Amino acid sequence: MFSVLGFLAIARPLFLPRLPQLLRRVREWETSGRTYKALGVPAYGALLRRTPLRYVNPHVHLNRGPADAAVIRDEMEAAEAAHFGAAATIVPYMVFACVQDWWGVVALFMAIQIGVNLYPIFHLRWVRARLNRLLNRKHLGHTRHA
């Protein structure tokens, strides 16, 4: 799992992984924020911004202003795809551990999945939905003034 994340981070200058079309669209229930707020995703985001974890992937932070929002959205989607790929790599081992009745291993890997992949995916999707709204407003503003 960490090898997949590391490989994709190193390969980032060459290509950005893309989400499959099925996963790319942010769903309506994700944009309302209620589900993610109930799960503590905004608190997780605050943890990322206020700790050295911010430097794990600096490409997904909007530092330069609204002009680069579309580039940041693509970077967020790439990070999300990387976490989906990383999560998928250990699912077969988790299934094997279930078949072997290694419940301690399953619990450990489930905790790792939640902390390393699931919450980053939730946070990236939530922020991407907010960024899409910003870009749509910006686009609508340009078309009204044109």
User: With contact defined as beta carbons under 8 Å apart, do 90 and 1 qualify?
Assistant: yes
At 141 the pLDDT is 53
User: With contact defined as beta carbons under 8 Å apart, do 49 and 65 qualify?
Assistant: no
pTM here is 0.82
Every domain of the chain and the residues it spans: 28-145
At 109 the pLDDT is 96
Closest CA to 128 of 56, 59, 69: 69
Average pLDDT taken over every residue of the chain: 85
Rounded mean pLDDT, 123-142: 76
pLDDT class for 81, splitting at 50, 70, 90? Answer: very high
